[in-house]
């Protein structure tokens, strides 16, 4: 079955006769489910199900009996956040041929099917019904099956598109989360197989770059694009689309007449012709995704087409998010400068995984008004007078704490140069911890191997007690062990009984390596088991928070198999973490699904009894 296709327009229609959906950058697919078969068919009618076994397995666990045969139209995606999918990642998955690699990636970094239309349900064709009726049927089914709207932090691998009745709300969400664009759908429109129709209109979230032309390909007509980076001509891709036939003819003649050189494939030209090009995203190799000619820049000199402007142009934000000093340097790592807008983009890229740990926590942030290139910094708890009204707060002991529960607030914090996010071990309004965090603090980064050893020893103890523990880097020089607990169940006094037992066990077993001595002078190059840090009123760095250190470190969730002698803290930075999540997934994905309550209660009861007996 060939899918129905949208028509591209520069702007979307804006009326009550239309609804608006996020456009995800992935593989268009038709999902067909029968009582004994599941098929995922591509736009070119290629069977994709062998490449995405995680989706097939998820479907088999759904109770779909009342809805079969079922057919859904949608997009196969790797979700970055609620409004953005990574095309490179889904393309890479689609090209994997080795079954062991497919299975490994399906487990750690699963893809999802975003359903945006219903074609058949309970064996009945509904494609000819109006869009709003098809959507209502799909939503009713999704509600009964527990299918969420798009979210990479949700374990559901079939998710249902979110639909908006106000254009500006849809556009704001896409711009806010750096999505590909939107699709406007006429509410009375039927689904038409294989047709490109104007009842579906797609609008792209374009970025722009000012660049100059360096070459013309003789056969395919593409022109090569570049900018100046530290005085050197640096290629950023090539473009062919968007030029009218007349403009294309003029451009080709200009290049040929002014060519400085040529070979079998190209005419080459010195930097002289400047143009503006639209694009969606930038690949890792700095190649433009879907480049399209926008306009001639007749008044622009090639010297004005710089790498710095290209970097800044990659990151757009809606007017609702006020960004100041976009090019302000925050970190300088190994000669590379990280500017504010790149930091804000990091926060946006990891927001789906970061925000669940920030939600409803009384935050203490560390702000660096001049970035980490300056030593000045200060702690902030209270909401300042200039904070926007949309930021939620919670009063606690005369402090109006700010809560970071959404992407707008997170980006506001980032714009204020809050580079570190610390929080207590319980949510706002609670007095009992919902986790234990054990801080493994070596005397310096040169002794990091002690943190690895301590983490491995703690893991052995936790496994023997049937308690599930998670591990992350601190982002500075150590590691931290997280043990999730059920909310409102155990007191800080009870968790102290456990941490005292664990500290005593580790220091007695490895007295030359570990200590609970609080005075640095008495530690003698041993790793400090900072278990005292886990107490009421104390805070800990949150997973995915950056650090204000020289290498732009990030407090990064790890998989236990990574905790070995080859682990290097400087591999985990704001530059590497977004791609790490795409490649390996989030090691804390199941953090809030773990129930350590029964096992922890059993251990605690034993320790309490032992204390009484002694």
Q: Which class for 89: exposed (0-12), middle (13-18), buried (19 or more C-beta within 10 A)?
A: buried
- CATH number of 269's domain: 2.40.50.140
Looking at 251, 283, 313, which one is the last position of a domain? 313
Each residue of 382-394: pLDDT tens digit?
Answer: 999 999 999 999 9
Establish if 318 belongs to a structural domain.
no
pLDDT at 374: 85
**237 pLDDT more than 80:** yes
If asked whether residues 197 and 272 sit together in one domain, one would say no
Confirm if 48 and 40 have CB atoms less than 8 A apart: yes
pLDDT at 131: 97
List the structure tokens of 145. 């099956």
Which CATH number goes with the domain that contains 54?
3.30.470.30
pLDDT at 276: 97
| 578-592 tens-digit pLDDT | 999 999 999 999 999
Residues 245 and 367 in one domain: no
Q: Are 365 and 495 in a shared domain? A: no
| Percent of the chain's residues with pLDDT above 70 | 100
Could you give the count of Cα atoms lying within 13 Å of 260 in the half-sphere of its Cβ? 8
- pLDDT higher than threshold 80 for residue 285: no
Q: What is the pLDDT of residue 268?
A: 97
Residues 88 and 232 placed together within one structural domain of the fold: no
User: Would you say residue 323 lies in a domain?
Assistant: no
Report yes or no on 555 lying in a domain. yes
Q: Is 77 part of a structural domain of the chain?
A: yes
Does residue 141 sit in the same domain as residue 72?
yes
pLDDT per residue over 5-28, tens digit each? Answer: 999 999 999 999 999 999 999 999
In the predicted model, what is the mean pLDDT of residues 537-544? 96
Residue 137, pLDDT > 80, answer yes
Residue 58 and residue 150 in one domain: yes
Q: What is the mean pLDDT of residues 257-267?
A: 95
What is the predicted pLDDT for the residue at 319? 83
Quick: pLDDT tens for 321-380.
Answer: 889 999 999 999 876 889 999 999 999 999 999 999 999 999 999 999 999 988 899 999
Looking at residue 220, what is its pLDDT? Answer: 93
Q: How many domains does the chain have?
A: 4
CA angle centred on 392, ends 390 and 398, rounded to 5°: 130
In angstroms, what CA-CA distances link 59 with 46, 53, 357? 19, 10, 29
139 HSE (CA, 13 A, CB side): 10
Together in a domain, 214 and 199: no
Q: What is the pLDDT of residues 450-501, one digit of tens each?
A: 999 999 999 999 999 999 999 999 999 999 999 999 999 999 999 999 999 9
> Which of 86, 292, 284, 286 shows the shortest CA–CA distance to 207?
292
pLDDT at residue 287, rounded to an integer: 83
Instruction: Indicate whether 412 and 447 sit together in one domain.
Output: no
pLDDT at 318: 87
Question: Residue 502 — pLDDT band, cuts 50, 70, 90?
Answer: very high
Q: What mean pLDDT comes out for the span 184-206?
A: 96
Q: Is residue 59 part of a domain?
A: yes
- 91 within some domain: yes
Query: 383 lies in which domain range?
Result: 329-423
Identify the pLDDT of residue 373: 86
The alpha carbon of 577 is separated from its chain's Cα centroid by a whole number of angstroms, namely 9
Separation of alpha carbons 456 and 303, rounded Å: 55
When pLDDT is cut at 50, 70 and 90, the band that residue 280 belongs to is: very high
pLDDT recorded at residue 286:
75
Residues 179 and 36 in one domain: yes
Length of the chain: 614
Catalytic (active-site) positions? 23
pLDDT tier at 1 (50, 70, 90 boundaries)? confident
> Which of 169, 203, 237 is where one domain is finished?
203
**Is 343 in the same domain as 289?**
no
- Give the predicted TM-score (pTM) of the model: 0.92
pLDDT of residue 610: 83
Residue 194 pLDDT: 92
Q: What is the CATH number of the domain that holds 501?
A: 3.90.920.10
For residue 381, what pLDDT is reported?
96
Predicted confidence at residue 468, as pLDDT, reads 98
Backbone angles phi, psi at 210, to 5 degrees: -90, 125
Query: What does the pLDDT average to over 554-583?
Result: 95
Q: Phi then psi for 437, rounded to 5 degrees? A: -120, 125
Cβ atoms of 40 and 49 within 8 Å: the answer is: yes
Residues 540 and 594 in one domain: yes
**Assigned domain for 536 exists:** yes
Give the pLDDT of residue 375. Answer: 83
Round the average pLDDT of the chain to a whole number and report it.
95
211 and 230 in a single domain? The answer is: yes
The contacts of residue 97 (CB under 8 Å, 6+ apart) are none
> Quick check: 529 and 478 in contact, CB under 8 A?
no
Question: Among residues 163, 188, 203, which one ends one of the domains?
Answer: 203
Q: How confident is the model at residue 96 (pLDDT cuts 50, 70, 90)?
A: very high
Helix (H) / strand (E) element for 174: namely helix 167-176
Residue 613 is predicted with a pLDDT of: 80
């Amino acid at each position: 079955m060939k899918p129905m296709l949208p028509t591209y327009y520069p702007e979307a229609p804006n009326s009550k006769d239309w609804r608006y959906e996020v456009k995800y950058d992935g593989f268009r697919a038709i999902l067909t489910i029968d009582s004994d078969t599941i098929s995922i068919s591509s736009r070119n009618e290629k069977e994709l199900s062998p490449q995405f076994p995680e989706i097939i397995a998820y479907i088999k666990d759904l109770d779909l009996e009342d809805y079969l045969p079922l057919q859904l139209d949608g997009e196969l995606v790797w979700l970055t956040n609620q409004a953005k999918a990574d095309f490179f990642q889904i393309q890479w998955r689609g090209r994997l041929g080795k079954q062991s690699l497919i299975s490994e990636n399906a487990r750690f970094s699963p893809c999802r099917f975003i359903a945006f239309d219903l074609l058949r349900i309970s064996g009945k064709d509904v494609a000819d019904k109006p869009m709003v009726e098809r959507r209502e049927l799909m939503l009713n089914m999704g509600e009964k099956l527990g299918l969420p709207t798009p979210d990479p932090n949700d374990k559901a691998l079939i998710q249902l598109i979110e639909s908006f009745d106000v254009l500006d709300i849809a556009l704001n969400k896409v711009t806010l989360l750096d999505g590909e664009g939107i699709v406007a759908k006429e509410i009375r429109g039927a689904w038409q197989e294989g047709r490109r129709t104007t009842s579906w209109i797609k609008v792209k979230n374009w970025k722009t770059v000012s660049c100059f032309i360096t070459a013309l390909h003789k056969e395919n007509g593409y022109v090569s694009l570049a900018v100046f980076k530290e005085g050197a001509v640096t290629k950023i891709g090539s473009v062919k689309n968007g030029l009218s036939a007349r403009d294309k003819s003029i451009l080709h003649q200009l290049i040929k007449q002014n060519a400085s050189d040529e070979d079998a494939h190209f005419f080459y030209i010195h930097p002289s012709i400047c143009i503006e090009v639209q694009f969606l995203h930038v690949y890792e190799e700095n190649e433009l995704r879907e480049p399209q000619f926008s306009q001639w820049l007749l008044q622009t000199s090639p010297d004005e087409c710089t790498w710095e402007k290209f970097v800044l142009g990659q990151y757009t934000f809606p007017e609702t998010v006020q960004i100041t000093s976009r090019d302000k340097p925050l970190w300088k790592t190994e000669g590379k400068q990280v500017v504010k807008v790149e930091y804000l983009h990091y926060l946006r890229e990891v927001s789906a995984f970061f925000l669940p740990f920030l939600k409803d926590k009384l935050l203490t942030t560390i702000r660096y008004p001049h970035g980490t290139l300056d030593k000045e910094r200060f702690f902030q708890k209270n909401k300042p007078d200039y904070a926007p009204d949309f930021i939620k707060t919670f009063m606690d002991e005369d402090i109006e704490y700010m809560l970071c529960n959404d992407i707008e607030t997170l980006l506001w914090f980032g714009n204020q140069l809050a580079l570190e996010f610390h929080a207590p071990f319980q949510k706002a309004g609670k007095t009992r911890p919902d986790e234990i965090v054990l801080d493994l603090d070596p005397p310096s980064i040169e002794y990091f191997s002690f943190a690895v050893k301590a983490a491995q020893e703690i893991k052995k103890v936790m496994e023997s007690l049937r308690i599930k523990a998670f591990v992350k880097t601190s982002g500075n020089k150590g590691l931290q062990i997280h043990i999730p607990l059920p909310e409102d169940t155990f007191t800080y006094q009870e968790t102290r009984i456990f941490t005292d037992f664990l500290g005593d066990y580790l220091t007695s077993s490895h007295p030359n390596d570990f200590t609970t001595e609080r005075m640095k002078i008495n530690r003698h190059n041993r790793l400090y088991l900072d278990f005292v840090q886990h107490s009421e009123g104390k805070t800990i760095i949150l997973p995915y928070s950056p650090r204000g250190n020289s290498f732009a470190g990030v407090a990064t969730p790890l998989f236990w198999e990574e905790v070995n002698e080859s682990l290097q803290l400087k591999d985990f930075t704001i530059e590497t973490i977004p791609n790490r999540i795409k490649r390996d997934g989030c090691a804390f994905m199941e953090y809030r699904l773990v129930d350590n309550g029964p096992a922890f209660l059993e251990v605690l009861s034993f320790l309490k009894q032992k204390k009484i007996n002694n």
